Amino acid sequence: MSAPTAPADLYRHSLRLLLEKDIDAWVGLWAEDGVMEFPFAPPGRPRRLEGKEAVAAYMRPYPDHIDLHDFPDLRIHRTTDPETIVAEMRGVGRLVKTDSPYDMTYIAVVTVRDGHIASYRDYWNPLALDEPGTDFAGSGR
């Protein structure tokens, strides 16, 4: 099955892949020159990942640290740019290392170009990084 190309549909598909822990397929949704940004990243964490390979290296260890179960409260907003959406959601699950609950609120601004994610700005709460088990291998920490 090929991935959807409309921004909202592609984004929903990407969330399903994260829940399935299929990081390779998730990375496959990205444009080769795609950029992922974390505007609120604290010191020692990446603020910008340039290119599909950088995104892949960052995301590959994700399922080993956070076991996502659901993305409740998903709301996708269209913008005046038909290729850009704003998504509001929560990611819930557990931290693998400690088996503690994981509950993070996200806002993402995502731009899709030619059916692939070209830009993803991830606005999340950096204070949650103080929790044991949230240190990703790709984080640079």
pLDDT in tens, 113-133: 999 999 999 998 877 656 554
- Model confidence at 43, pLDDT cuts 50, 70, 90, reads confident
pTM for the whole structure: 0.87
Report whether pLDDT(139) > 50: no
Residues 109, 121: Cα–Cα separation, whole Å: 5
Residues 118, 128: Cα–Cα separation, whole Å: 27
